[in-house]
Amino acid sequence: MLLTYGFFVRSGKPMNTDALNLQAPAVWRNSPEICALADGERHLGHTVRIGGRWYAFDATHFNERADGFRNLGSFASLVSAREAVELNSCRAIPEYAGAA
């Protein structure tokens, strides 16, 4: 199930993080122009409204030039942009990730 804005608002349930090995649930933080998805430790991705379209970015991966976030594309709706962020940035984290 995708964890779109509507899911959070209607159910009030945070993302299930058991399979993701995260310490805190990932939640969306919202403003009229920018929305960011983060868990207790990391910025996972964000959407930005520019000229009436929503642009989605995966903050867990570099772009092709390795000088910024991965651009996931532009979308007509905020829901679609958020789905793109969730599908691309909320993947399982290897057990060794973050190990010292």
Q: For position 16, what pLDDT does the model report?
A: 52
Name the residue among 71, 25, 68 with its Cα closest to residue 47: 71
List the single range of 25-29, 32-36, 51-55 with lowest mean pLDDT.
Answer: 25-29
List the single range of 18-27, 37-46, 76-85 with lowest mean pLDDT.
Answer: 18-27
Q: For position 89, what pLDDT does the model report?
A: 78
How many other β-carbons are positioned within 10 Å of the β-carbon of residue 39?
19
Compute the chain's Rg from CA coordinates. 13
- Is the pLDDT at 7 greater than 90? The verdict is no
Q: How far is CA 51 from CA 20, 62, 74, in A?
A: 34, 24, 11
Q: For position 95, what pLDDT does the model report?
A: 45
Name the residue among 42, 50, 7 with its Cα closest to residue 24: 42
Q: What is the residue extent of each domain of the chain?
A: 5-89
- Report the pLDDT averaged over residues 67-85: 95
What is the pLDDT confidence band of residue 75, given thresholds at 50, 70 and 90?
very high
Q: How far is CA 45 from CA 23, 28, 99, 100, in A?
A: 17, 9, 22, 24
What is the pLDDT confidence band of residue 9, given thresholds at 50, 70 and 90?
very low
